Amino acid sequence: MLVTGAGGQLGRALAEEFAADGVVAVTREAWDVTLPPPSGLDAGGLVLHAAAWTDVDGAEDDPQGAAAVNVGGTANVAALGAPLVYYSTDYVFDGRKGEPYVESDSPNPQSAYGRSKLHGEAAAGDQAWIVRSSWLFGPTGNNFVRTMLRLAAERDEVSVVDDQRGSPTYVGHLAAATRQLLHLPYGVYHVAAEGDATWADFAEAIFEGAGLETRVRRITTAELDPPRKAPRPAYSVLRSEKGAPQLPHWRDGLHECLAAIG
């Protein structure tokens, strides 16, 4: 099997989870997915497609660049002809439902990133598991946990938004759930951590878990200075009505992540 985006946080977790299965893990340097695959690349029987444009605000400035990776790149991966797992996002929803989103809810992305990921779902083709997850974090790469730990080293107090609610999902748990998902029929599945939180709740749990005294000042999205370019859904908790694999609670994921960071 093949993992794309193997340098990213989820790609690394997938490469680790499937290490004993003879996985071929390709980074962006080995295959820029906006281009045809390098000659001789063998997809094997399955592609775990974790490569993506994930700069949510940057996509507002360059929606075509985001689409080239998230839609065009996914079409290139699907053209390999192997069944594929495509990782999608809670940002395909507008966040106005106010209760957990299930697979049959209609997407209505509010950002260029969300639109590109939704079109990418279609580009994944018929032989695909579409895994929508949310608020990914892990011991490597760019994510909220690592950002908060960095800020805590510099400041006594951090301002964090308290009016966006989601399910922070540990990449190791999502990678393990991917293995179970492969026993289900192709289609769209919501796979996110148990429990939900605002970013401010999550930040407090990070500082507490890391034994830091840093305080969290709870602010609204409107108070963010400078404001973010891309709108985010106010509520994007994902749940499954289709028997998707269930993940541990985000607090368990945080515990594992902090232990891995050391």
Q: Please give the residue ranges that form the binding site for ligand NAP (CB under 6 A).
A: 5, 7-11, 28, 32-34, 50-54, 69, 73, 87, 89, 117, 133-136, 141
Nearer residue to ligand NAP within complex by CB, 54 or 111: 54
Q: Kindly state the smallest distance separating residue 129's Cβ from ligand NAP, in Å.
A: 13
Nearer residue to ligand NAP within complex by CB, 171 or 216: 171
- 100's CB contacts (< 8 A; 6+ apart) are 237, 238, 239
- Residue of 86, 87, 113, 235 marked catalytic: 113
Q: Packing angle between helix 250-261 and helix 199-209, nearest 10 degrees?
A: 50
Q: H-helix or E-strand containing 67?
A: helix 63-67
Q: Kindly state the smallest distance separating residue 156's Cβ from ligand NAP, in Å.
A: 27
Distance CA 223, CA 84 (A): 41
Q: Are 51 and 28 in contact (CB under 8 A)?
A: yes
Distance CA 231, CA 107 (A): 15
Q: Are 51 and 11 in contact (CB under 8 A)?
A: yes
Q: Kindly state the smallest distance separating residue 192's Cβ from ligand NAP, in Å.
A: 8
189 among known catalytic residues: no
Nearer residue to ligand NAP within complex by CB, 53 or 207: 53
Q: Kindly state the smallest distance separating residue 79's Cβ from ligand NAP, in Å.
A: 14
Distance CA 49, CA 162 (A): 32
Nearer residue to ligand NAP within complex by CB, 202 or 207: 202
Q: Are 73 and 51 in contact (CB under 8 A)?
A: yes
Q: Kindly state the smallest distance separating residue 145's Cβ from ligand NAP, in Å.
A: 11
Name which of 252, 6, 260, 10 is nearest 139 in CA terms: 260
Nearer residue to ligand NAP within complex by CB, 144 or 215: 144
* Catalytic sites, residue numbers: 113
